[in-house]
Amino acid sequence: MTDAASRIRETNAANDVVLYMKGTKTMPQCGFSSRVAGVLNYMGVQYRDVDVLADDAIRQGIKDFSDWPTIPQLYVKGEFVGGCDIITEMTLSGELDELFDKSGVAFDKDAAEKIRQANG
């Protein structure tokens, strides 16, 4: 686990936004990963995607690292934010916008508002 944990720490330190997901941002392999990647993609967020299906050590390691049992997992500035339900809720409430603003992460505010309007 130590190797996986150190790789996770390094990846999180090297990237402002990291999504540990099943598949990739261009080819998600589960609906939950697809939803979170879709939100980030639509909002124009630059992020690193890590395909947990390609690496069993990371697949289990990220669950141990965050003490969170499910994938996907979103990290912003090295901090665990949440999984699909939390990211969906934060997007709809505007909390994700606030987090990105506070963290200096660029995103399309108009796109974020369109998501809220479409789901309001």
| 3-state DSSP of 41-80 | HHCCCCCEEEEHHHCHHHHHHHHHHHCCCCCCEEEECCEE
Separation CA 85–CA 61 (nearest Å): 21
Per-residue pLDDT of the chain (120 residues), as tens digits, is: 469 999 999 999 999 999 999 999 999 999 999 999 999 999 999 999 999 999 999 999 999 999 999 999 999 999 999 999 999 999 999 999 999 999 999 999 999 999 999 997
- Show the domains of the chain with their CATH numbers: 2-118 (3.40.30.10)
Yes or no: say if 17 and 105 are a contact pair by the CB < 8 Å rule. yes
* Nearest alpha-carbon partner for 45 in 66, 65, 74: 74
| Structure-block tokens of residue 107 | 């995103």
